[in-house]
Chains A and B, each alone.
Chain A
Amino acid sequence: MGLSKKDILDIESLSAEEIRLILETADSFKEVLGRDIKKVPTLRGKTVINLFFEASTRTRTSFEIAAKRLSADTINISASASSVQKGETLSDTVRNIEAMNSDVIIIRHPASGAPHFIAKRLKASVINAGDGSHEHPSQALLDMQTIKEKKGRIEGLKVAIIGDIAHSRVARSNIQGLTKMGAKVVLYGPKTLIPKGIDEIVGAHCNTPLQVAESMEEALSDADVIMMLRIQLERQGVSLIPSVREYSRFFGLNSKNISLAKGDAIIMHPGPMNRGVEISSEVADGSRSVILDQVNNGIAVRMALLYLLAGGHKDA
């Protein structure tokens, strides 16, 4: 079974079966990554372009390593080096890139919907590596992979997602994915960072609950998974929180309030972390933290996406 899709634009448009397929494929690549020689010839001769209109270290590097492990040729284009600053439209930029016969374009863009915009105009496959405040599908997939690995399942778990939900594409992708996989998702953060209608964004096909908690205690109690989100200070034109100090006191995860969660709860963070703000260093570096496992799983999951889009066909 393959993935009958040209693009991976968001988790919303993936079915639970498709998510399962991606995670299973990632499992087999994880085995490859454990070998001495970590490279397979699957995508030899294919060109993968990393088109990043926003700064990124983790995601871009992870996609690049994934592509290289699959023997694809990879090219990184960042906005500062591109013609974007010369006033070229997104539409022209991507047409030019396609004219260079690329097979997969991985795009990160500050505008929500930019990957959808280019996917409609390109024959090449498009992977969304984060668009505005919309989605970051590969992050949610690696998060689900990590949860599955650590907990043995996703279904039935209570997952608390805490922090700046309003600006978080990681939150939106995880909400879509985790509810499809049967987890109970609870959101929490200051009301200034909880967008209107967030508890209604999942379709009717998701029969597991999605709710916004009234307090940190409610969000954390009996949680199996705690996902802390980065407070994106750099995105906030107006004051959405009074101060970092106050935020960390009332909305941060620390060694005290973590005791409300289940004894074996795991702690996640998509990074980069603001230590001492949304998460204390003791918790981030503690035994329950799986933050580096997330990064590690990122490569296998992204290999799976590239393989399923570009190499998973019968003629490959």
Chain B
Amino acid sequence: MKLIIKGGRVIDPANKIDGIYDILVEDDKIAALTPSFSQGERGKDEGEIIDASGKIVVPGLIDIHVHLREPGYEWKETIKTGTAAAVAGGFTSVVCMANTSPVNDEPSVTEYILKKARGEGSCNVFPIGTISRGLKGEELANIGELKEAGCVAVSDDGRPVMNADLMRRALEYASDFDLTVISHAEDLTLARGGTMNEGVTATRLGLKGIPNAAEDVMIARDIALAELTGARLHIAHVSTKGAVRIIRNAKARGTKVTAETAPHYFTLTEEAVEGYNTSAKMNPPLRTKEDVDAIKEGLRDGTLDCIATDHAPHDPDSKDVEFPSAANGIVGLETSLPLTLRLVEEGVLTLSQAIERMTVNPAKAIGLNKGTLSVGADADITVIDLNEEWTVEQEKLKSKSSNTPFAGWRMKGRAVATIVGGKRV
């Protein structure tokens, strides 16, 4: 089976490619990348042709922080609907967090997720196993068996590992299996009872705040543990100025640490909570403009390697309640690309840098052999129309949930074709 993506501007940051090329796909691999031919120059038997002229063609986007909610919370999202949302947003691979029900701390759960994904998923699904059994933060999960079953990293995301010694052992043990440990960095004693960022808005609204320090101290701790153990650490959803500084310093020392931020942390501030808006409630919380600026700078200078969505679907009943009781999180798969492209428009990132932070960098952070358009690589490809303007309409989202603070926003840029394993989906 052949597929040609013709005449697009191909941007493949890993191979430093940016130019007009045709991409030939054979079966599920990239077979060739050739300077674009004019129509008819190639002969017969071309298979399907996707005309990408005027569009950009990039490695399939990879989101290493997604909550697919299955098993256990199928009324919020399923593997079927979550991957449909992914594909609509231009993602060809999603890495799903372990806080399902039951939690993904046993190979049987991992196998269930993978089986469902093969049957009903529209894109690649890579599960993350837990660090601790039952997400309890008390004893290590069977990390070796989780890897064997198909887990690509471990994380207790949704909860921090408060016990520093357990985190140390997790880093050591996971490195035996070449797995990255992903840290949900939050000191629960500092964050206790908080429902939004600590500061003037929280104080005025009478909501208990979560200080930046709740995130910063945990990141500092985990970096110290990464240095102690020499293991690979990845920091999830960075939201503060201090965190960017701490990670930047660690990288300068040569610590093996990577980090991600989410589009909402470089797009919105705590002011979005005004009026007790539960669709702007998330953990970590939206911070201040100063933090947003630092996150942008961190993305620009590479301190923050990846953009990941923390796609966190919730049903209306979880959000349509008084603010302190509302669930944390927003859906992100279908808005991540255009929000990232705004950074290109603003001049924070070059187009190539933006693509890098959504493809090869996240792949590298967890050791996934994806995110490039090299010949022989998996044919995961996204075609993007940078100029398409559209409005975020909640009822049109492919996700089962529509909890987004971006409803009604005008967006520019959209995935117009998503190819997973050589097949257009």
Q: Could you tell me the dominant secondary structure of chain B's interface residues?
A: loop
B323 at the interface (CB under 8 A from A): yes
A201 at the interface (CB under 8 A from B): yes
Query: Complex Cα distance A109/B325, Å?
Result: 12
Closest Cβ–Cβ distance, residue A94 to chain B (whole Å): 11
Interface 9-mer from B34-42, B116-124, B200-208, B248-256: B200-208
Contact of B204 among A90, A201, A237, A238 (CB under 8 A): A201
A36 at the interface (CB under 8 A from B): no
Interface 9-mer from A15-23, A97-105, A126-134, A239-247: A126-134
Q: Which of A80-94 contact B (CB under 8 A)?
A: 89-91
CB-based nearest B residue for A175: B204
Query: Would you list the 4 A-B pairs with minimal beta carbon distance, nearest first?
Result: A134-B206, A197-B200, A113-B276, A112-B206
- Residues of chain A lying within 8 A (CB to CB) of residue B199: 196-197
A-B pair count, CB < 8 Å, reads 72
B70 at the interface (CB under 8 A from A): no
How many residues from A make CB contacts under 8 Å with B?
26
Q: Are A169 and B322 in contact (CB under 8 A)?
A: no
Q: Are A132 and B206 in contact (CB under 8 A)?
A: yes
Contact of A117 among B198, B206, B317, B322 (CB under 8 A): B322
A135 at the interface (CB under 8 A from B): yes
Q: Which of B183-225 contact A (CB under 8 A)?
A: 192-193, 198-209, 211
Which of B208, B275, B322 has its CB near the most chain A CB atoms (within 10 A)?
A: B322
A111 at the interface (CB under 8 A from B): yes
Closest Cβ–Cβ distance, residue A176 to chain B (whole Å): 9
Can you list 16 A-B contacts with CB-CB less than 8 angstroms, sorted by A residue number? A12-B204, A111-B323, A111-B324, A111-B325, A112-B323, A113-B322, A114-B322, A117-B276, A117-B322, A134-B207, A169-B206, A172-B204, A172-B206, A195-B203, A196-B202, A201-B204
Give chain B's interface residue range (CB within 8 Å of chain A).
Answer: 20 to 34
Q: Are B200 and A200 in contact (CB under 8 A)?
A: yes
A122 at the interface (CB under 8 A from B): no
- Residues of chain B lying within 8 A (CB to CB) of residue A153: none
Q: Are B203 and A198 in contact (CB under 8 A)?
A: yes
Q: Are A116 and B206 in contact (CB under 8 A)?
A: no
Query: Complex Cα distance A198/B203, Å?
Result: 6
Q: Which of A100-153 contact B (CB under 8 A)?
A: 109, 111-114, 116-117, 131-135
Q: Are A116 and B204 in contact (CB under 8 A)?
A: no
A89-B321, A197-B199 are known contacts. Are A132 and B207 too (CB-CB below 8 A)?
yes
Q: Are B200 and A196 in contact (CB under 8 A)?
A: yes
Query: Complex Cα distance A90/B317, Å?
Result: 11
Query: Complex Cα distance A113/B278, Å?
Result: 11
A116-B275, A197-B200, A201-B200 are known contacts. Are A90 and B206 too (CB-CB below 8 A)?
no
Q: Are B209 and A196 in contact (CB under 8 A)?
A: yes
Query: Complex Cα distance A198/B325, Å?
Result: 24
Query: Complex Cα distance A67/B398, Å?
Result: 51
B176 at the interface (CB under 8 A from A): no
Closest Cβ–Cβ distance, residue A165 to chain B (whole Å): 9
- Residues of chain A lying within 8 A (CB to CB) of residue B205: 112-113, 134
B389 at the interface (CB under 8 A from A): no
- Residues of chain A lying within 8 A (CB to CB) of residue B192: 237-238
